[in-house]
Amino acid sequence: MDLYKSAAHELHEKLVKKEISSVELTNSIYSRIDQVEDSVKAYLTLDKENALEQAAKVDKMISSGEKIAPLAGIPGAIKDNISTKGLRTTCSSKMLENFTPIYDAHVIQKLRADETIFLGKTNMDEFAMGSTTETSYFQTTHNPWNLERVPGGSSGGSAAAVVAGEAIWALGSDTGGSIRQPASFTGCVGIKPTYGRVSRYGCVAFASSLDQIGPITRDVTDAATVLNTICGVCTMDSTSLHEEVPDFTKALTTDVKGLRIGVPKEYYAAGLDPKVDGVLKKALADYEAMGAKIVDVSLPHTEYAVITYYIIAPAEASANLARFDGVRYGYRDMKATSAPEMTTASRTEGFGAEVKRRIMLGTYVLSSGYYDAYYLKAMQVRTLIRQDFAKAFEQCDVLLTPTSPVVAYPIDGKMDPLAIYLLDVCTIPVNLAGLPGISIPAGFVDGMPVGMQLIGKVLDEETILRAAYAFEQSHDYHKVMAPLGGK
């Protein structure tokens, strides 16, 4: 039985009915990892011994008649910037190559409480800075749909693991699209919750006002299930929202009659692949056939979103990464003869090119004489972007946009960094405004998946999940397995 092809909610039913055991399931996923990992390169660290020990514990609970949580005994993968006590957490960097945390992130605590199984830690762009998973210090992850193409980033390892059958579900982090864009490129589901809905405690900080942890899954039901588990207030995170967490799975209905779907014209402009545009136009027609109402809206400050993000995010990154000084933890240059020399050398050797690029940019925009001209101005534009969304939501319930203007492109490392930055134009505004957004498979272009993004109001994950579920259930895109081929 190819258990790796099943969704978490399907496997939960099999576990409860004792049709399979958690040990059997976990072993089957590790067997799949043995088969395909050399081609996909999704993982940096595996934790088989502890995973099987946890699986046996869940099996014992089931045999004794205990009720288990929806994710109990279901193997998942964790992005390698999320702290796991006793399990190496590297951020795919030389700086943290040998770092082992002494505490769990809040999301890990909550998942452990539900007896979930962690298979290992997934590859990512170094310190979550990148959109391809090519900036990893260790390896480049490959897209299971075409092993010669990128899986997206920075959560490319998590997305590739799910799509290749190397995990049933995974966690990623999203600062400017790093869950949704790889979900789009690999043909799975990725959701960025409202800022503060999920605690950032234990997620190695990139840009603190933008980072959010979220699920990457096979289908919308699994996304809602994982979200149920990881959401909630955290006393260790001052930005954690003190809001009641609903049962997101109750929002999963196929009724979208009367739902107002906004189509922002700025997201369907120059730069959008005409074939991707065609897939999304068909999706809009499908929604209309289901009874939804299509509304044209405008988000006029969208053109400033990317440049605003690449001022704010690097500025916050330069502050957050200042802790890596070669003194307390992380890589240390042992040849230095003075403390200043050691710090400089440790950072020069410990950080990769993309990380250094963003640190230098961030330090520049925060420096004396430039703060008002750049950072302060960017924060003002951020407010305008938030106001654009608020005005648009007066006319609609959700917004439908491309997740990415293009499908996954070849692995070569030659693409200009600025060109890669510009491809985040559809996802970045959602982070700047702190809104929830989800990417789901909407079709294919030249054999590669196309992601459709649904954006919701603050704390209205339920509406985007409902809209996503209705579309998913009327199509089979989420059931198609990636071929793990090339060309």
Do 25 and 15 form a contact (C-beta atoms < 8 A)? yes
Residues 402, 214, 231, 382: is their CA dihedral positive or negative?
Answer: negative
> Which of 41, 79, 121, 192 is an active site residue?
79
| Domain ranges across the chain | 3-259+430-479
Residue 154 falls in the annotated catalytic set: yes
> pLDDT in tens for each of the 487 residues of the chain?
699 999 999 999 999 999 999 999 999 999 999 999 999 999 999 999 999 999 999 999 999 999 999 999 999 999 999 999 999 999 999 999 999 999 999 999 999 999 999 999 999 999 999 999 999 999 999 999 999 999 999 999 999 999 999 999 999 999 999 999 999 999 999 999 999 999 999 999 999 999 999 999 999 999 999 999 999 999 999 999 999 999 999 999 999 999 999 999 999 988 999 999 999 999 999 999 999 999 999 999 999 999 999 999 999 999 999 999 999 889 999 988 899 999 999 999 999 999 999 999 999 999 988 888 999 999 999 999 999 999 999 999 999 999 999 999 999 867 778 788 889 999 999 999 999 999 999 999 999 999 999 999 999 999 999 999 999 999 999 999 999 987 6
Q: Which of 21, 5, 103 is nearest to 60 (CA)?
A: 21
CB 21, CB 67: distance < 8 Å: no
In sequence order, the 6+-apart residues with CB closer than 8 A to the CB of 139 are 41, 44, 123
User: What 3-state DSSP class applies to 161?
Assistant: helix
The secondary structure of residue 189, as a DSSP letter, is E
- pTM over 0.95? The answer is yes
Task: Name the residue among 201, 221, 220, 219 with its Cα closest to residue 211.
Answer: 201
Asked whether the bond before 154 is cis by omega within 30 degrees of 0, the reply is: yes
Indicate if 240 belongs to the active site: no
Query: To 10 degrees, the CA torsion angle through 432, 269, 152, 135?
Result: -70
Tell me the C-alpha distance between 19 and 23, whole Å: 12
Q: Which of 175, 153, 426, 456 is nearest to 277 (CA)?
A: 426
Go through 145-168 and write b for each residue having 16 or more CB atoms within 10 A of its CB, e for each that does not: bbbebbbbbbbbbbbbbbbbbbbb
Instruction: Round to whole Å and give the CA distance between 430 and 283.
Output: 21
Q: How far apart are CA 223 and CA 293, in angstroms?
A: 25
Q: Is 208 exposed, middle or buried (0-12, 13-18, 19+ CB in 10 A)?
A: middle
CATH 2.40.430.10 fits 3-259+430-479, yes or no: no
Catalytic residue, chosen from 158, 178, 318, 404, is 178
Backbone angles phi, psi at 170, to 5 degrees: -155, 160
Distances (CA, A) of 350 to 79, 102, 202, 333, 361: 20, 21, 21, 9, 18
Q: Is residue 178 flagged as an active site residue?
A: yes
For 364, the 3-state DSSP assignment is: helix
Of the candidates 354, 457, 363, which has an alpha carbon nearest to the alpha carbon of residue 415? 354
Residue among 92, 93, 154, 173 flagged as catalytic? 154
Question: What's the rounded Cα separation, in Å, for the pair 463 and 324?
Answer: 41
Please name the residue that has the structure tokens 């993000």: 309
Which residue, chain included where needed, has tokens 């809009």? 284
Return d(Cα 240, Cα 196) in angstroms, integer.
Answer: 4
What dihedral do alpha carbons 134, 140, 142, 147 form, nearest 10°?
100
